[in-house]
A and B are shown apart, each in its own frame.
Chain A
Amino acid sequence: MAQYRKRPWTFYVLAAFFTLFVLFLYGPMLAIYILSFQGPTGGLTFPLNGMSLHWFGALFEQQRTGDFAGSFTRSVLLALLVMICTVTFSVMAGLAFRRRFFGSTAIFYMAVASLVMPGLFLSLGIGLIFRVIGVPTNWYASALGAQLTWTLPFGLLIMFAVLSRFSRSYEEAARDLGATNRQTLQYIVLPILFPGLIAVALFGFTLSYDEFPRTLLTVGPGNTLPLEIYAMTTTVTSPALYALGTVTTVVSFVAIVLSLGSIAVIQWRRGGRSRK
């Protein structure tokens, strides 16, 4: 093996900088995860006063820490709804945009423009409109719509990336072999695109799960989890807040592992076990 050349000094500077960045990124989170296991008599800061799961239990006592169970349920249900809508519409739109049709450019820019709209104002506007037309704002109606303005363009952009590697000849081959349009979609297009669809679903789910500004003024009477956590930062002065942080991180983490894991399994089955 060829000998490595001596590394230049810039390598050490950049490596040090990167280390600092990683510490900044994960250090505070790590502190929160550790403090969430604070003993029953411990406070909001180090040192740990024993170790316990006490504060995780405290989460479910509504009076003390706010409506954790309710907001968590709402958030997960909303994220699932957003995920389903995002996948469905992004796939349909992505397939449609492969062809140029009348107004396709205008529609594309309109869809993508909502990515740069300030979320809080969008939320304000949607809340206002709902009030004007006399429909009460609610997490499963106005908040769902507000979040979709954010996740749909994201999903569409991911679909563009996914479809750019999808050859039209698969569809032609299916048609050549006598498949109807529906059969081509069901047996060929969707299964081949499936790993990409998981990516869209993951984005839809996580973007919704931690969305704050677009939900703030559209959520109606029951808070989603991020709003609830924000409220709790001002009222709750116990490590239960940290326990909440740990629980929500675990949920996000599970979602990511499930998605990436299933993509990896699919690629492994398709990519040839003997090669690579």
Chain B
Amino acid sequence: MAQSGGIELANVTKRFGDTLAIDNVSVTVPPGTYCCLLGPSGCGKTTLLRMIAGHEEPTSGDVLIDGQSVLGLPPVKRGTAMMFQSYALFPHLTCLDNVAFNLKVHGVAKAPRRKQAHEMLERVQMDGFADRVPAELSGGQQQRIALARSLITNPKVLLLDEPLSALDEFLRLQMRGNLRQMQKEFGITFVHVTHTQMEAIAVADLVVVMDHGQIDQADSARGVYDAPRTTYVARFIGGQNVLGGKVVEVESGAALLEDARGNRFTVPAGDTAPNVGETRFLSIRRDRIEMEKLADPSATGSDAVNSVVGKVWMTEYQGTWVKVSIVLADGEEFVANISDGTFFANPAREGDTVVARWSAEAVHPLEHRESNFDTSRIGMHT
């Protein structure tokens, strides 16, 4: 069976009164993809999801599913089903009747609809709970009932609005693996809205990073993590140090930058040729940094290209690595993830002056994009 459930958003814009929620967004989700819409709260990801679901209509632009425009169609006609954030299980109905609801409103007689609902409950390993009401279930169990209730409509696309946010940490990890398995088993498209970077990266084939109603990058999980397109994506996904500086020299496709602290870094030219005097940005993964303690505690700058000097203000043991936070001369934070063996061979203590260096190959050029989103307030996950 050919997979279906490809989604295409074409120049979609959504306004609520004077507020621009979605600003001319275009993206294609191939059939059978696990897609995550990722962004901080208020970035428009849920609005985008609700427009695919048919609970909102775009102000302009088109939404296509399997090549057909679905504007104005109700959810069931679109072939979509939505799993709501708090699951919205009907509190007065048993699990079985919750799952059978779609069949009931379509006039399926009691016996066949119960039989089908039982089968669906079996597929999510919840048949033993058929006669319970939702309030008797744990968060994880409720999620499975919600999943069964959505899947019984035979959707081509399952839309999940923050499906894991109501669960505790342990269940969250378990259920996200579960969702991924379900998606493979049913072979349909999943669109999963989340604000948790690691959740998106763990499950998604396609990660769509959003901010302010726009898409910054739509790429594979590895793509957004390892090769972020903009300073915003690099900061939001985390695991990266973002640096910027003025171009002082251009040589064979690479630029030499100098920042306000006098540190100098090289950066590959990227898509556009650099000009002397303009500001360029780059990122280096935290785990690609080498660190060395300096004998001179008063050092503030480094002469060597591709290095910075600062004071260690915090070390966090993470098991296989140690997260070392370094404060640079102007107060900016720089983070090095050092493997635990290397770190403990000559451990740096808080207050030590260290130099952090990296190889020119580890540098990734970024496009600059400002965001109101305050990256310093979220806990970066690596």
Contact = CB atoms under 8 A, between A and B. Distances in A.
Interface of A: 167, 169-170, 172-180, 183, 187-188, 191-192, 194, 266, 269-275
B90 A170 contact: yes
B126 to A, nearest CB: 16
B135 A271 contact: yes
A274 B76 CA distance: 35
Given A167-B88, A169-B88, A192-B90, A178 B105 contact: yes
9 contacts: A167-B88, A173-B88, A173-B90, A174-B101, A175-B55, A176-B55, A176-B76, A269-B133, A272-B133
A273 B102 CA distance: 26
A207 B101 CA distance: 38
A254 B132 CA distance: 32
B113 interface: no
Contacts of A272: 132-133, 135-136
Nearest to A180: B105
Nearest to B50: A172
Contact of B149 (A172, A177, A188, A270): A177
B180 interface: no
A178 B88 CA distance: 15
A250 B7 CA distance: 65
Contacts of A275: 135-136
A169 B86 contact: yes
Contacts of B90: 170, 173-174, 188, 192
Interface string B114-146: 000000000000000000110110000000000
B92 A274 contact: no
A187 B104 contact: yes
A176 B75 contact: yes
A192 to B, nearest CB: 6
A167 B89 CA distance: 11
Nearest to B75: A176
A270 B95 CA distance: 11
B105 to A, nearest CB: 4
Main secondary structure on A side of the interface with B: helix
A267 to B, nearest CB: 10
Nearest to B84: A169
Contact of B136 (A173, A180, A188, A274): A274
B279 interface: no
B242 interface: no
Interface in B35-84: 53, 55, 74-76, 80-82, 84
B297 interface: no
A192 B92 contact: yes
Nearest to A274: B136
B153 A177 contact: yes
Given A177-B76, A187-B105, A172 B84 contact: yes
B347 interface: no
B381 interface: no
Interface string B137-181: 000000000000110010000000000000000000000000000
Contacts of B196: none
Contacts of B102: 177-178
Nearest to B161: A169
Contacts of B26: none
Contacts of A266: 92
Nearest to A271: B135
B104 A175 contact: no
Contacts of B85: 169
Closest 7 CB pairs of A and B: A272-B136, A178-B76, A272-B135, A169-B88, A173-B88, A177-B102, A179-B105
B91 A176 contact: no
Contacts of A192: 90-92
A176 B81 contact: yes
A184 B153 CA distance: 17
Contacts of A183: 105
A163 to B, nearest CB: 15
Contacts of A270: 91-92, 133, 135
**Most-contacted residue by chain B among A176, A270, A273 (CB, 10 A):** A176
A176 B133 contact: no
A173 B136 CA distance: 20
A274 B90 CA distance: 18
B106 interface: yes
A250 to B, nearest CB: 32
A272 B136 CA distance: 5
A273 B131 CA distance: 12
Contacts of B80: 176
Contacts of B82: 172-173, 176
Contact of B74 (A170, A178, A188): A178
